[in-house]
Structure 1
């Protein structure tokens, strides 16, 4: 009730000020003798009065629209933050850094998604890209991320996690199609045929072993020392949405993520970014430059990539961009013979990461 009463004066002011200016102009025209004279001076004064009234109305409307736009941006930003919630800087021995950049500076809502969760089956991560952006894309992101956050704890097999995501997406698209076409009263066979989501699922076990399932998404890069190479080169499955998944899904074994190694997950907006001459952004070259920094942390890698990318595009990327960096900072356990003296020494040490770029 308090909120309703608090908003009444603002609405009254928004309507009352234009009405007051309009009443001033009408009163001047009807009651002022100068407004009825035909001389040049009278016409100049009359024109000035109506010009002032019109200018005041335009300024008032502009300010009202700017206030409304700021409110909409705040709501969109809050919704986006609730979906892509900030990740902790450390998850089960992995240092983590992630960030998202919308191609439209006036929009806070994009179609990229990511999440990292520690489970009893290992650390599981998802990176995805919904076709399009805006409110419709945000609903799809919510459906996929909500299903992922539940399935990673329930399903021991990574293939079953992907099947859960596929069913959640199909259910969301059917419900959206019914809402968009309620008059048909029929269950749509192909609700949104052009809608799809690229998804990359990763699982990093306690021993560092990486398994992956890829549906149309770019493979991440593995950073080991100064070496930069794709995690895998296998052909991915089709994106979720247009085509059914195979009944049996066998995750791809991608080798270990050794202590000190990093994985860089990204959406295709990174490699599709172009400069003024139309040249594509070279992500491997940027990663080679990033690993030369000392110390190498997910935060420094992320900061270097965004700086290089924005310089390449002159601050105007053509597509939404999301980056996720995972670094294995687990201390390897060295077994010593029974009765041997001394303790195991960690292979590498790293400074504590920061929580911002």
Structure 2
């Protein structure tokens, strides 16, 4: 509310400033001693109007100022007719020039707005919004780009429901901003195909590696690489992972009472990032954790952990996650928004790297159905399944 009032106040001042300028010049001209000629300053009013508000007010003020220049006012009354006509012509010339400049600026602004709309549509297609529900899970994601005006930077994420479970990728391309979009597109495009086609996670990762090699062309010699974390969440909540140089995720689970605790999960050293070295012949898949109904998994890029404030202190991600979801059930969208707000507050809005964040909450579980009595005869009706699916956490 306070910010809205401040914006309205600034807009009102922009509209009122040219008129206040004219009134001030006229007042000073009427009250100033003889010999002081300030009527020429009226030429600034049309320029101020065009720069701040638009061409219509510029034309109106130009006409008013031209008439005031022709009317003898105070010390201006001692000016001869030629001087007053010269002042009037100067005002008209300034108004005409400001009008032309404003028209060119408006055309450029419209072209820039169209270019931004096209870029926003392309970037939303590349890093499309996550669905709110997917394969029995509630999802939310968000990102911040260090490049001003860019919706997408060097971070990537995607989640897909496949016959093999919910598969998730999150990664970080070396560099940031618009220059990394080509690599992001190659990795995401490959994942969206391989996640459905490959029965095992190692096959998906190898497809990503081949797509990255095609994108980079010649060996990059360590100059270009991508950190990648691949996850597969089964119907029983088991989370399998392949990690190539990426930060391990955090798990949000219910502790004592309804309190939620945040803990990092992940064992062992990750593989090198894609692009630095060829993948080894054997890719060990880590059984990361098993999500109970209502538990959530938070995936992030290193832009969150490495962010610093003005004193050089790192962003306390684990503490912020615990504060973002103090009690169960965890709301993924709220966690993403609170972490993003806390990160901007911690850095003062001056990011040094792109940041991406994903939160996945398991909502469904298997509930045992009634057991069949031994020796019971089956009828021609379809039997009930041995389990049913229930939502355990309301949205």
- Do the structures match in fold with TM over 0.5? yes
1:273 aligns with 2:307: yes
Residue-by-residue CA offset, 1:45-90 (whole Å, 9 max, x unaligned): 6655554454344433333332222222211110111111222211
State the 1:305 CA deviation.
Answer: 1.6
Residues 1:259 and 2:284 are matched in the alignment:
no
After TM superposition, give the deviation of residue 238 of structure 1 in Å: 1.5
Residue 89 of structure 1 corresponds to 132
- Secondary structure of the equivalent of 1:270? helix
- Higher alpha-carbon deviation: 310-319 or 79-88: 310-319
Deviation by residue 1:287-345 (Cα, 9 ceiling, x = unmatched): 111221454221222222223223223344332221111111112323665449xx989
**TM-score normalised by the chain length of structure 2:** 0.68
Query: Corresponding residue for 1:351?
Result: 394
Q: Is contact 1:73-1:108 (8 Å) kept?
A: no
**Aligned position for 2:332:** 298
Aligned residues of 1:111 and 1:141 also touching (Cα < 8 A): yes
1:205 paired residue among 234, 241, 259: 234
Secondary structure of the 1:200 match is strand
Taking structure 1 as reference, are residues 255 and 349 closer, same or farther at Cα in structure 2, changes over 3 Å only?
closer
Q: Tell me by how many angstroms 1:132 deviates.
A: 2.6
- Correspondence for 2:358: 324
1:257-310 per-residue CA deviation (whole Å, 9 max, x = no partner) reads 221211000111112222333322111001111221454221222222223223
What is the aligned partner in structure 1 of residue 157 from structure 2?
A: 114
Establish whether residue 314 from structure 1 lines up as the match of residue 348 from structure 2.
Answer: yes
In 2: Cα distance, 1:169 partner to 1:252 partner: 23
Match of 1:160 among 189, 203, 211: 203
Structure 1 residues 43 and 318: alpha-carbon distance in aligned structure 2, compared to 1, 3 A threshold: farther
Q: Is the 8 A contact 1:76 1:109 kept in 2?
A: no
| Greater relative contact order structure (CA < 8 Å, 6+ sep) | 1
When the two structures are aligned, how many residues end up with a matched partner? 299
Q: State the Cα RMSD in Å.
A: 2.8
How far apart, CA to CA, are the structure 1 residues paired with 2:317 and 2:91? 59
Unpaired segments ≥5 residues, structure 2 = 1-81, 255-259, 375-385
Bigger-Rg structure (1/2): 2
1:1-357 correspondence runs (5 A): 48=91, 51-174=94-217, 189-190=218-219, 194-225=223-254, 226-293=260-327, 295-334=329-368, 337-339=371-373, 349-352=392-395
SS in 1 for 2:343: helix
Q: Distance in 2 between matches of 1:91 and 1:347?
A: 14
Q: How has the CA–CA distance of structure 1 residues 333 and 106 changed in structure 2, closer, same or farther, with 3 Å as cutoff?
A: same
Aligned partners of 2:117, 2:221: CA distance in 1, in Å?
A: 29
Contact between 1:73 and 1:107, CA under 8 Å: does it hold in 2?
Answer: no
| Preserved contact between residue 173 and residue 192 of structure 1 (Cα < 8 Å) | no
Deviation of residue 134 (structure 1)?
4.2
